[in-house]
Amino acid sequence: MLRLLLRGAAGSARKNGGRGPVAHLQPLRQYSSSQSSGAAKVVAASLLTVGGGIGGTVLYAQWDHKFRATVEKNVPYSDSVFGLILGPAPQNAGPPVRKQVRKSTEASVEATQIISASGDVPSVPAPCDTEPTVVTGNTHEHCDECHPAGPEAVLHGADSPTEQLVERPAEEVSARLAQQDQDEQNSPPEEKSVQWKDLEAALMDRTSAVTDATAALQKANEALDSLRTTIRNSKDLKVAAARPLVLAAEENLHKMAVDLDRVVAQVQSAEAESKIVSQYSDLVQEAKLQFQKEVSSLTPEIQANWKGLTGKLSTDDLNALIAHAHRRIDQLNRELAEQRVREQIHIDAALQQQKLEDQRVLENAVSSSLQHVKEEARLEQERKMNELREVMEAEMRTQLRRQAAAHTDHVRDVLKVQEQELRAEAEQVLSSKLLDQETRHRQLTQEQLDNFTLDMNAAYARLKGVEEAIDSHLVAEDEARRAHQLWLSVEALNHTLKTAGAEEPSVPLDSAAQIVRDSCREDDFASALAEALPAESLSRGVYGEASLRARFNSLRSLVRRVALIDESHNSLYQYFLSYLQAALLFEDQQVAPPTQLSSEDLDPFKLLSYASYCLEHGELELAAKLVNQLKGEARRVVEDWLTEARLTLETRQVVSLLSAYANAVGLGTTQAP
Amino acid sequence: MSERELGRKLDRCLADGVIKLGTGLGLGIVFSVLFFKRHTWPISLGSGAGLGMAYSNCQNDLRSHYLLHRNQKVER
């Protein structure tokens, strides 16, 4: 971009030197890199104006040598460019600007004199525009040479853009006027009409050129304004990339404005200078009009261009005209005398006015140049600022990038830390909340469970109670039943005991005992008792008491007979003796036994009587005990009886125990709760 | 029945006595007839012997309970 700017600057400098149409391509190439449509417009307008400026400069230099000399003096390398395009420059020493101004003023004054001198020649007053201030070369020979080139220049001016028109026609016309002045001074009066005609033509050209110039100036101003607005818009857009282009466009705009201002200044100076002439011309025009009015008042049918009406005028009219003319001449002479008197005053006034105008022009020029300088300084500043800005921006970008990187790292770390913290916090909160919830839930469930358990326990307890009650009832009933059964079986057993006949034993107690055993399976006591029944009783049955009694009675006699027989006395003789004893001894049949047996009670006979007494009184047990006291052969004899008695007693004891037990059990079970 | 034991024994004794007496008598008679020229002493001897034997047998039989016998001894 910087290279482009430099190239643009160099190119514009070169353009000011005026390379001509060849240079047109370079600006195009340089500005081809514009990016926005605004910039394109800017570029196109700048291209046009700059190219026009260059072309105009070149062409004008070709036409006006002073101008060319000025340009060559001011712009380096322009002399070589001019030499390339236009050919070598004619050698001329350029008078300074003021001298030219004075010269032009003198020229205008001379023109006025000429016009006043040749009053009968109605002519359009010729404004003598001064040569433009930039023109350095002398006009005389230039004018001679430029004269043929003048119309061509005019034609060229028609084609070329605005500033040229502004410059060239004015310069050309002034040059032409000056030239014509000189020529007029030198030329004979016969050529004056030709000169006046030329002047007329030149004046017309000038007016047209002035109008064209104003129009062109307006257009140029408009274009510059549009360019300025475009530049401002593009500045407002603040697109960084367009800034150098904008800067270049601004510079170009500035240069164009400078040129325009310069040219406008020239035009204005020329106009100022020509004002006098224009004033004079206006006066002349006014006089002419007045004259015409007089003439027309005299001769109404005469028209303005009365040169061609010479044959149509009557003598009266002519006389009237001549008289009027004489009168006018008198008046004019009078005025001239007056004027001569007041000449100095007028000159002073004019000088003063001119001074004022010069001062104004100077002020304008100073202000415009100041503006230009300010503008240049501002542009320079802008350029420098742009460069600096770019550098700063690049640096700032890198710094910002670094900062951004650092920031992102930092932010990432902080975010990580924060994330962790937040996560920990959130987890903590979550866990605490969860714990609370859990504990609450557990509490609730526990409560529910407890309640439920309590209820269940209560119900269960009640159920258990009920069950137990039922069971106990069942058990009690079962026991009662069993007890009853036992009792029944025991009763049966008891009954079977009573089945003992007179001489036969009872029925075997086995079945009854079995029944008893069955009915008392769970009862240890009863079962033990049931087991305690002697086997003989079970298998064979027991004898009843009556049978035993009877048997004892039958035994008694035998026992009496063998009473003396024992281990030592057991011969046959003893037998005989005991028989004898038995035959001879008489004892009581029944004697109540004493509570305590003494030794003398151990006599068999006594024992027998005791035993029979006991038997008679149903005390089998005592009888058996007493009989047990027998010794010897007697004992041998009663052994079986004793066994039977013992058996019976045993059985009876067991049965009685069982029945007692069954009764007790039955009583126990049938107890009311 | 232990009470009939004595009766049985006595029956046996009696039977035995009768037999022995008879036999003895018989033998005595026989002997007296045969050998001892009808003396009465063999008859009386025989009968007495018979009777004595019977008495002794009876006595033994009646005592047998109180005496230890060889087979019992062996058992002990």
With cut-offs at 50, 70 and 90, classify the pLDDT of residue A158.
very low
Structure tokens at A399: 């710094």
- A521, two tokens: 């399976």
- Distance to chain A for B12, nearest Cα, Å: 14
Does residue A416 carry a pLDDT above 90?
Answer: yes
State mean pLDDT over A12-16.
56
pLDDT at position B63 is: 83
- The Cα–Cα gap between A582 and A561 comes to 5
**Is residue A539 located within the same domain as residue A628?**
yes
Please tell me the predicted confidence (pLDDT) of residue A670. Answer: 63
Neighbours of B6 (CB within 10 A): 19
Query: Phi and psi dihedrals of A302, rounded to 5?
Result: -80, 140
Residues of B within 8 A of A558 (CB-CB) are 3, 6-7
Q: Alpha helix locations (H) across A299-342? A: 315-341
For chain A, what's the residue count? 673
Torsion angle of the four alpha carbons B10, B14, B17, B22, in this order, in degrees rounded to the nearest 10: -170
Whole-number Cα distances in Å, A28 to A85, A164, A245, A477, A580:
20, 21, 13, 135, 195
Q: What per-residue confidence (pLDDT) applies to A123?
A: 41
Candidate ranges A18-32, A423-437, A449-463; pick with highest mean pLDDT? A423-437
* Joined tokens for residue A253: 């705009």
Question: CA of A533 to nearest chain B CA: how many angstroms apart?
Answer: 22
Q: Do B55 and A572 touch (CB under 8 A)?
A: yes
Task: Give the pLDDT confidence of A513-558 residue by residue, as tens digits.
Answer: 788 788 777 778 878 888 888 888 788 878 888 888 888 888 888 8
The reply to whether A292 falls in a domain is: yes
Residue A210 pLDDT > 80: no
Best residue of B6, B16, B51, B59 to probe chain A, by most A CBs closer than 10 Å: B6
Neighbours of A612 (CB within 10 A): 23
CB contact at 8 A, A519 and A489: yes
Residue A175, in any domain of the structure: no
**What does the pLDDT average to over B55-63?**
85
C-alpha to C-alpha distance for A531 and A657, rounded to whole angstroms: 12
A575 found inside a domain: yes
What pLDDT score does A51 carry? 92
Residues B10-27 have a mean pLDDT of 85
Residue A125, helix vs strand vs coil? coil
Dihedral pair phi/psi, residue A588, rounded to 5°: -70, 145
Report the C-alpha gap between A247 and A607 in whole angstroms.
173
At A464 the pLDDT is 83
Contact residues for A294 (Cβ-Cβ < 8 A; gap 6+): A324, A328
Q: Do B59 and A636 touch (CB under 8 A)?
A: no
Average pLDDT for residues A68-83, to the nearest whole number? 84
Cα(A116)–Cα(A107) distance, integer angstroms: 14
State pLDDT tens for residues A311-364. Answer: 555 777 788 778 878 888 999 899 888 888 888 888 888 888 888 888 887 888
Range of the domain at A374: 191-296+316-401
Question: pLDDT per residue over A547-596, tens digit each?
Answer: 888 888 888 888 888 888 888 888 888 888 988 999 998 888 888 888 88
pLDDT in the model for residue B32? 82
Give a yes or no: residue A340 inside a domain: yes
Residues A439-462 pLDDT 10s: 999 889 888 888 888 888 888 888
pLDDT in tens, A606-643: 888 888 998 889 888 899 988 888 888 888 888 888 99
pLDDT on residue A159: 39
The confidence score (pLDDT) of residue A435 equals: 92
Banded model confidence at residue A42, pLDDT cuts 50, 70, 90 = very high
3 state SS of A15: helix
**Which pLDDT value is given to residue A172?**
61
Q: Are residues A236 and A383 in the same domain?
A: yes
Q: Is the pTM of this model over 0.90?
A: no
Q: Based on the structure, what is the number of domains in chain A?
A: 2
User: What letter does residue A34 receive in the DSSP assignment?
Assistant: -
Residue A141 lies in a domain: no
For residue A415, give Cα distances in angstroms to A329, A408, A429, A550.
108, 10, 20, 127
Q: Tokens 């020509």 appear where?
A: A274
The pLDDT tens digits for A462-489 are: 888 888 888 877 877 777 777 777 788 8
A410 has a pLDDT exceeding 50: yes
Does B74 reach chain A within 8 Å, measured CB to CB?
Answer: no
A554–B contact, CB cutoff 8 A: yes
pLDDT in tens, A176-207: 665 655 655 555 556 666 777 787 787 788 78
Q: A555 vs B65: CB contact, 8 Å cut-off? A: no
Which residues of chain A does B62 touch, with a Cβ-Cβ cutoff of 8 Å? 565, 570, 572, 575
A:348-367 residues touching chain B, CB 8 A cutoff: none
pLDDT of residue A47: 93
> Closest approach of chain A CAs to the CA of B59, in angstroms?
5
Among the partner-chain residues B58, B59, B65, the one whose CB lies closest to the CB of A636 is: B65
Q: Supply φ then ψ for residue A596, to 5 degrees.
A: -125, 130
Task: Indicate whether A120 belongs to any domain.
Answer: no
Mean pLDDT of chain A: 76
Q: In chain A, which residues have their Cβ closer than 8 Å to the Cβ of B8?
A: none
Contact B66 A567 (CB under 8 A): yes
Across A18-32, A343-357, B62-76, the highest mean pLDDT is recorded for: A343-357
Alpha-carbon span A260 to A557, nearest angstrom: 197
- Residue A9, in any domain of the structure: no
The dihedral built from the CA positions of residue A434, A439, A444 and A446, taken in this order, carries a sign that is: positive
